[in-house]
Structure 1
Amino acid sequence: MNSRSRWLMISVGLGVLLNPLNSSMISIAIPRLQHVYGLDFTVVSWIIFSFYIASAIAQPVMGKASDLFGRRKIFLAGLIVSFVSSLLAPLSPNFGWLIVSRIVQSIGTSMMVAVGMAIVRIHIKERQATALSVLSIFLSGAAAIGPFIGGVLIHWWDWPAIFAVNIPFVVASFLFAWRMIPKDEAAASVLHSMSFRKWLDLIDATGIVLFTVGLVALLVGLLSAKSSGHVSLGNIMVGLIGLVALGAFVRHELKTTSPFIPLRTFAKYPAMTWVNVQFMIVNVLFYALFFGLPSYLQMVRHVSEFHTGILMLTLGLCSLVASPIAGRWIDKSGPGPALLVSAILMTFGSVWIVTLDQSSPVISVCLALAAFGISNGLNSVGLQAALFQSSPKEIIGVASGIFNTSRYLGTILSSLLIGIIMGGTFSFGGFRLLGVFLTVIALLLVFMSWGHREARQLEES
C-alpha cells in the first residue's frame, strides 16, 4: 500500500469511527443524563433508540444518495453535519433538543459509514482486503473503547465532553479527506438527468416513512405503558398505529420496485435469512448487556463513571483479541464451530448475570464482560463469513445492506427489552430479570447455531 493509499485510509477511518464511537460512549452517560434532566430510565433510553433508528434508516439512504451526488461529497457533508451536531448538543436547553442533536449526529456519522467502504474499494487497488480489514479495525476498535473514553470524559469534564471529543476527529478527517479523496465526476451527470420525485422513488421514501412511523409509534406505545405502570387507551392507540404502519410497510415493500428493505430477497434466499435472524439475536444479547451493565454498575453498585469505563474495557479488549483468532479458526473450520462456541459463551455470561447479587465483588462482572467480548469477536467474523457462504455473489451488495439493517434492528430490540423490563427506574431486581431473559435468548441461539452447523454438515456430506 503506497503513501497516498495510507493517508486515504486514515482520512476515511477517522470519519467512519465516529458512528460506533458515539453509539458506545453513551452507555456510560445514561445515569448522568437521567440525573441532569430529572427523567426516568424509560425516557432517557430514547437517547439510544433515536441514534439506532436514525442509523438504520440513514445508512442505506445515504448509500443510494452517494450514487447520485458523489461519494466524496456525501462523506464531506457527513463530517460537516457531525461537526454541527457536536457543537449544538452540549448547548441543548432540554432533553428534547438533545435527542434532536443526537439524531442529527447519527445521520452525519451514518453518511460516512455508508460510503467509507465504497471509497476504499474504488480508490485503493492494491492489497484491498488488507485495506478493508484496517477499516474494520477503526469501526470495531472505536466501539470497543467507547465506554472507556466515555467514562474518562464524564469523570473529568461531565457529559458534554462526549460530544466535544468528536470535533478534533471531524476536523482532522475533513482536512485529510478534502485532499486525499478523489473527486467523483460521474455522479453529477446522473443527478442532472433524474428528477427529485424519481430520486424519492429510488430511495423508497414511502417505505422509509412507514418504517419510521411504525417503529417509533410501537416503541412509544410499549414503553409508555411500562413506564406509567398501566395500559391506557392512548397507549393502545399509539401501539396500534405502529402495527398498522408496519403492516403497510411490509405490503409496500413487497410491491415497490426499489424497496428500502428488500423483503422478497429474504424469501428467495432462506440460508441468508437465517444468518440475518441469528445476527439480529446476537445483537439483542450483546447490546442488552452493553447498555444494561453500565447502568447496573453506576445506579445499583454506585461505581463512578471512570471506573465503570475501565471495567467495560474488558468487553472491548476481549473482542479485539478474539477477532483475529476467530479469523484463522474460521478459515480452517468454517463459521459453524465458532458460532456455536460464541452462543455457549453468551449463555455463560447471561447465567453469570443472574448469579450476581448486591454484595458480589464488582470485579466479578468482568467474567460476563469477557464472555460477551470473546463471543462478539467470534460473531463479527463468523456471521460475516456465514453471510458470504449463504449469499450469491450477484447480490452481495444487497446482502451486506440487509446485514447492517439486522444489526440495527437487534440494537433497537435490545434497548426495547431493557426499557420494558426496567420501566421508569433501573433496579437490581430488573437487572437480574434481564439476565434471565438473556439466558433464555442465549439458549435459543445455542440451538440455532447447533442446527445450522448440523445442516451445513449434511449439505457437505
Structure 2
Amino acid sequence: MNRPGPSAVRRGGRPAAPGPAAAPGPAPSAALAAAPGPSDEPGFGARLTAPLLMGSLLNPLNTTMISTALVSIGHSFGIGAAGTAWLISVLYLASAVAQPVLGKLADTLGPRRVFLAGLVVVVASGLVGTLAPGFGALIVSRVLLGIGTSAAYPAAMAVLRDESRRLGRPTPRPVLARLSFAALGSAAVGPALGGLLVTVVGWRGIFAVNVPIALLTLGAALLWVPADPPRERAADGGAVRVSLDPLGTGLFTAALTVLVFFLLDLADPRWWLLAPFAVLTAVLAWWQLRAPQPFMDVRMLAGNGALLRTYARHGLSYLLIYCMMYGFTQWLEEARGFSSGQAGLLMLPMSVTALVCSLLGARTKGLRGPLTLACVLLTAGGGILLLLSGDSPLGVLLIAGACFGASQGLVGTSNQAAVQAYAPAESIGAAAGLQRTAQYIGAITASSLIALAYAGAASDAGLHLMAAVAVVLGVLLTVLTLTDGALRART
C-alpha cells in the first residue's frame, strides 16, 4: 500500500489523521442516499466532493437527456427512428467497455489524471455534436461522450479511496450517498432537461450543454482534487505497471459490438452475426480463465448464481424502463403532437417517482419486497400503455410514466444493494461495473425494440407492441423475483 507523502496535508492546511490506512470499502449503493448526514469531516469536504459529483452526473444525464431530442434530430437529417437509435446504442456500447477499462487505469495511473482526461474528452464531444454538419458527426460525438463520461465514476471512487487511505479512516457514508444519488437524480431529470433545451435552443443544445459543465468541473478538479499519490511500481523499480488485459478488453469489445449490430436490425435480423458472437464469447471466456489479471473474473461469475440472476434482472428491468423513456417520448411527440418541451414535462412524473422511490427503496432492509413491487409496476405500466390511443386522457399518460419511474427507483437501489450483498468483497468494483454493463445492454436492446416497433415513425401500433413486450417480461420478472431464494435474505 502506498504511504502518504507530502500531499498528506490537505490543501486547506489541515493535517491528516493518524492511524493505519483503511482498506477501500465496497462501491456505494444508491441506498446510502437515505442517510444525508453531514460530511464536512477533514479530507471529505465540499471542495473535494463537488467536482466528483459534477463529473459523475454527466454519463447518466446524457443517457436520458437525448430522449426528447431524437424526433428533432431525425427531422433535421431525414432519418427515422431506426437511424436515431444509433445515438442511444453507441453511447451505451462505448460506456459498457470504457467504464471497467478506465477504472483500471484510475487504479494504475492515478484517478485525478483519468478524471481530468475524461473531462477533456467530454468537452471535445460537446463541440463535435454542437457543430455537427451531418448525422455521422453526431455518432462520433456520442462515442466520445460515452468514453469521456465513463471516466468520472470509477475515478471518483478511486479518489475517495486514496483519500480514505491517506486519512486512515473510511469514506463517510453521506459522501458515498451523494455520489450515488447524483447519478440516479441526473438520469431521472434528463428527459425534462432535454425537452427544455430542445425547446429553447434546439437539439444542438443537448450536446452544447456538456461543454460548460465539463469546463466548470475541470476547473474545480484542478483546484480541489488532490494530486495522485505515488502508484505501485514494478519490482525492479521500473515504470508503473498497467495491467489492462488488452486481449480480454478487445475480445469483450468485439463481442459486444457484434451483438449490438445484430440487435439494431431486428426487423431484418442478420442471423449470421450470432456465429461470430458465439465464437468471440467462447474465446473471451477461454482467455479470461487463463489471463493472469483478467478483464472479468469468469470463475467468480460462474460460481455465483445469485449475482448472475441480479445482472439478468437488472438488464431486463432497464430494457423496459428505457423503452418507456425513449419510446414513449417519441410517441408523445409524433403520435400525440406534443412539442419536445411538453413531452419533457409529461415525463416529470417518471423522474419524480424515480427519485422518491429510490429513497424509499433505500430504507428497506430486504430485497425481494421492493424488487417484486418494481416488477408488478412494470407489468401494470405496460398494461396501461396497451390501452393508450390518440385521445387518451392526460392523467392516464402521467400515471403510466409514474409506474415506470417508481420501478426505476426501486430497481436501481435494490439491485445495487444485491450486487454488494452477493459479490465477493475483493471484486466489488468489477462486479458493480458489470452491473452497469448489464444495464447498458438492456438499453441497447430497448433502442432496437423501439426501431423495430416504430420503423419510420412512432405510432399507436408500435407503442402497443412495446407494451405487450413489457407485460410479458414484467410477468416473467415477477416470477423470477418471487422464486429467487437468495432474495429472502435481508441486507
| Structure 1 residue 117: Cα displacement | 2.1
Structure 2 Cα separation of the partners of residues 155 and 391 of structure 1: 44
* 1:210 pairs with 2:251: yes
1:375 corresponds, among 407, 413, 421, to 407
Local SS of the residue matching 1:359: coil
* Alpha-carbon spacing, 1:121–1:61, altered in 2? closer, same or farther (3 Å): same
Q: Is the 8 A contact 1:220 1:239 kept in 2?
A: no
Q: Is the 8 A contact 1:70 1:188 kept in 2?
A: no
The residue type paired with residue 193 of structure 2 is I
User: Counterpart in 1 of 2:113?
Assistant: 73
Local SS of the residue matching 2:374: helix
* Alpha-carbon spacing, 1:262–1:421, altered in 2? closer, same or farther (3 Å): farther
1:135 corresponds, among 179, 193, 196, to 179
Q: Is the 8 A contact 1:81 1:108 kept in 2?
A: yes
Q: State the Cα RMSD in Å.
A: 2.3
The residue type paired with residue 401 of structure 2 is L
Once the two structures are superposed, the pairs formed by residues 354-369 of structure 1 within 5 Å of their partners are 354-369=386-401
1:170 corresponds, among 186, 190, 214, to 214
The residue type paired with residue 270 of structure 1 is G
Q: 1:110-163 CA distances to partner (integer Å, 9 max, x unpaired)?
A: 111221122234326576111010111211111111111100110111011111
Q: Is the 8 A contact 2:265 2:448 kept in 1?
A: no
The residue type paired with residue 184 of structure 1 is D
| Structure 1 residue 276: Cα displacement | 1.6
Local SS of the residue matching 2:264: helix
* Alpha-carbon spacing, 1:225–1:131, altered in 2? closer, same or farther (3 Å): closer
Once the two structures are superposed, the pairs formed by residues 216-295 of structure 1 within 5 Å of their partners are 216-224=257-265, 226=267, 235-238=270-273, 240-295=275-330
* Alpha-carbon spacing, 1:409–1:222, altered in 2? closer, same or farther (3 Å): closer
* Alpha-carbon spacing, 1:408–1:259, altered in 2? closer, same or farther (3 Å): farther
Local SS of the residue matching 2:347: helix
| Structure 1 residue 287: Cα displacement | 1.1
The residue type paired with residue 211 of structure 1 is F
How many residues in Structure 1 have an aligned counterpart in Structure 2?
445
* 1:182 pairs with 2:226: yes
| Structure 1 residue 236: Cα displacement | 4.6
User: Counterpart in 2 of 1:16?
Assistant: 56
* 1:101 pairs with 2:137: no
User: Counterpart in 2 of 1:317?
Assistant: 352
Q: Is the 8 A contact 2:375 2:477 kept in 1?
A: yes
| Structure 1 residue 293: Cα displacement | 0.8
Normalising by structure 1, we get a TM-score of: 0.90
Bigger fraction of residues in helix:
1
Moved more, 126-135 or 103-112: 126-135
* Alpha-carbon spacing, 1:267–1:222, altered in 2? closer, same or farther (3 Å): closer
User: Counterpart in 2 of 1:56?
Assistant: 96
* 1:419 pairs with 2:451: yes
User: Counterpart in 1 of 2:474?
Assistant: 442
The residue type paired with residue 335 of structure 2 is V
Local SS of the residue matching 1:193: coil
1:307 corresponds, among 342, 352, 366, to 342
Consecutive unaligned residues in structure 1, runs of 5 or more: none
* Alpha-carbon spacing, 1:242–1:395, altered in 2? closer, same or farther (3 Å): closer
Normalising by structure 2, we get a TM-score of: 0.85
Structure 2 Cα separation of the partners of residues 346 and 218 of structure 1: 26
Structure 2 Cα separation of the partners of residues 222 and 319 of structure 1: 28
1:193 corresponds, among 214, 238, 242, to 238
Share of identical aligned residues, percent?
32
User: Counterpart in 1 of 2:376?
Assistant: 344
| Structure 1 residue 317: Cα displacement | 0.7
* Alpha-carbon spacing, 1:261–1:363, altered in 2? closer, same or farther (3 Å): farther
* Alpha-carbon spacing, 1:255–1:415, altered in 2? closer, same or farther (3 Å): farther
